[in-house]
Amino acid sequence: RRLSTVEVLGRSYPKDKFTNITPSILSKLPTQLYTRPGHPLNTLKTTIEAHFPDYAHFSNLPALVSTYQNFDSLSFPADHPGRSATDSYYVNKDLMLRTHTSAHEVEVFCDGHKKWLLTADVYRRDEIDSSHYPVFHQMEGARLFSDDLNVSGDALARENTRLFSELSSEHVVLEDRTLVDSKNPYQEHHNKQLADLVTQNLKYTLSLLLFKLFAQAADPSSEAPLQIRWIPAYFPFTTPSYEVEVFFRHKWLEILGCGVIQQATLTNAKVSNEIGWAFGLGLERIAMILYKIPDIRLFWSEDLRFLSQFKPGEISTFQPYSRYPATERDISFWCPNDFHSNDFCDIVRDEAGDLAEEVQLIDQYHDKRKQGYVMSRCFRIRFRSMERSMEHAEINKIVITIKKRASEALRVEIR
Ligand code: PHE
C-alpha cells in the first residue's frame, strides 16, 4: 500500500513508518496563543521579554524542524528516549515537531545573536490530565561571552557583583545545592575561572527573573524573602546543568532547566570561540502557578468567562466558574506487546479533542494463557467540555470510534 503524503503548514511531505502526527495536532500549528493580547501566555511572555530588554526576541519560528535541529545539533545520543516515536510527533523520519525551543539554538547562534529569547509552541506525546497537553509553550534564553578570560573576565565579574547586590537588596534567598563535580562537571577545554563566572551569571540572572515573576504574585502581606534553590540536573546540551525550584504557596516547585552550553553546540553554530549559558522554561507551567489556572486545557478555551478575566500585562488570579458535568467511560482491551499508552492517548485526543479531560489506567493484569495478548488494560476516560454540556449520544459515538481505531491501529482486542 502506498503511504502517500501529509500536509503541514501548506506543504506536502512524504509519509513513512515514523509518521505519527495526527489531524488534531496539525490543527494546533497555526494558533500562536502567545500572540493574543491579554492571554496569560502572552502576558507572561511580554513580562519576561521586558526583563531582558537588550536581548533579541524571537517568536516566529516554524514548529516543523529536522531531527538534526531537535536532537543531533544538541548532542543527544542516538539512543536517547526522547527520540522515540512514542514521545515525539514525526512527520517522517527526518522531520518532526520540535519538542523544545532548544531546537533553534544552533541557527540563532549561527545568525550571530549573542543575547536572545525565543518563544514557541512545542509538541510532546504524553498522557492526558490537567497538567499535560500535547502542545505547550516554552521560552528559551541564551547569552554568549568571549571564551577568552582576558576579554570577558573583568566585565563578567563586575556584572555578577552588581546582580548579586540587587538580589540581596530584594531579599532573595538562594539555596545552592549544586556542586560542580564529576557528575555535573565543567567542560574540559573551559577555563575554570571563566566557566565559574558564566555559571554565576546564569544563576543571578535567572534568580532576578524569578524574583520579578514570583514576588509580585506572592502574598504581599508576607515579609518573607523569596526562596530559590538550584539543583544539579542533566541535559545532553549543557554542562554543568541545573534545575531551578521556587518555594511558593508552601511548596517547592520546579520551574526551569538551564546550564552552560556544550561546546559542541557552539561549534555546530560556528561560534566556537564563545562560552555561554542557556535556559528553557515552560510558560503554561509558570502561568498555571502564578494565575492559579487549574487545567492546562483552559489556555485553549475560547470561553469569555476565561478570556475576559485577564488584562494585558497583568498577572491576576483566575476566578473559577462553574464547570459543566463530566462523564466517564471505561475501555478494556488485550494489548499486543508493543502497546504504548501514548498511542492510545493520541487516538483519544484525535477523536475527543479538548473534551478529553483525563485518561487513567485503572487496571491491568497478565494472563499467560491468552496467546499473543499477555496484558489486559482498562483505561478510564473522563470527558468534560470547558464550554458547553455534552449529550450522552455524542460521547457514545466518540467511544465507539476510539474503540474501532484502537483495534485497527494498535491491534488491541476490545473486551
Ligand atoms: N530544553 C530543555 C527542556 O525542554 C530545557 C533547557 C534549555 C535546559 C536550555 C538547558 C538549557 O527540558
Closest atom, ligand 1, to C-alpha of 122: 4
Angle at 194 between CA 192 and CA 196, to 5 degrees: 70
Residue 240: asked if its preceding bond is cis (omega within 30°), the reply is: yes
Residues 6+ apart with CB under 8 A from 198: 145, 156, 260, 275, 276, 277
| CA 293 / ligand 1 centre spacing (Å) | 23
Please give the grid coordinates belonging to residue 113: 545573536
Cα angle value 32/38/44 (rounded, 5°): 75
Centre of ligand 1 to C-alpha 299, Å, is 22
Answer whether 134 contacts ligand 1 (Cβ < 6 A).
Answer: no
Residues sharing a CB contact under 8 Å with residue 181, sequence separation 6 or more, in sequence order: none
Q: Tell me how far apart the alpha carbons of residues 334 and 331 are, in angstroms, rounded to a whole number.
A: 11
**Which residue's CA is minimally distant from atom 12 of ligand 1?**
257
Indicate the DSSP class of residue 90.
B
250: left (phi over 0), alpha (psi -120 to 50) or beta: left
pLDDT at 2: 56
Ligand 1 atom nearest residue 279's Cα: 9
276 lines ligand 1 (CB under 6 A): no
CA 18 to chain CA mean position, Å: 22
Grid cell for residue 269: 553554530
Q: Provide the residue-wise pLDDT of the chain in tens; the chain has 415 residues.
A: 556 999 999 999 999 999 999 999 999 999 999 999 999 999 999 999 999 999 999 999 999 999 999 999 999 999 999 899 999 999 999 999 999 999 999 999 999 999 999 999 999 999 999 999 999 999 999 999 999 999 999 999 999 999 999 998 877 787 877 777 778 999 998 999 999 999 999 999 999 999 999 886 666 666 678 889 999 999 999 999 999 999 888 889 999 999 999 999 999 999 999 999 999 999 999 999 999 999 999 999 999 999 999 999 999 999 999 999 999 999 999 999 899 999 999 999 999 999 999 999 999 988 877 676 689 999 999 999 988 999 999 999 999 999 999 999 999 999 9
- Beta strands 375-383 and 327-335 are antiparallel
Angle in degrees, 0-180, between the axes of helices 192-215 and 149-169, rounded to the nearest 10 = 30
Quick check: helix, strand or coil at residue 39?
coil
259-262 contacts at long range (C-beta below 8 A, 24 or more positions apart): 259/202, 259/233, 259/235, 260/186, 260/187, 260/190, 260/195, 260/198, 260/199, 260/202, 261/105, 261/142, 261/144, 261/237, 262/74, 262/75, 262/187, 262/236, 262/237, 262/238
Following CA atoms 278, 291, 43, 140 in sequence, which dihedral angle do they give, to the nearest 10 degrees? 10
Q: Which of 345, 347, 346, 356 is nearest to 386 (CA)?
A: 356
Q: How far, in Å, is the centroid of ligand 1 from the Cα of 112?
A: 21
Q: How far apart are CA 184 and CA 178, in angstroms?
A: 9
- Report the nearest-CA residue for atom 10 of ligand 1: 258
Q: What is the DSSP string of 290-351?
A: HHT---GGGGG---HHHHTT--TT--------PPPPPEEEEEEEEE-TT--HHHHHHHHHHH
DSSP 389: -
Distance 258 CA to ligand 1 centre (A): 6
Q: What's the rounded Cα separation, in Å, for the pair 246 and 305?
A: 30
Q: What is the pLDDT at residue 176?
A: 77
pLDDT of residue 128: 94
Nearest protein CA to atom 2 of ligand 1, as residue: 280
CA of 249 to the centre of ligand 1 (A): 25
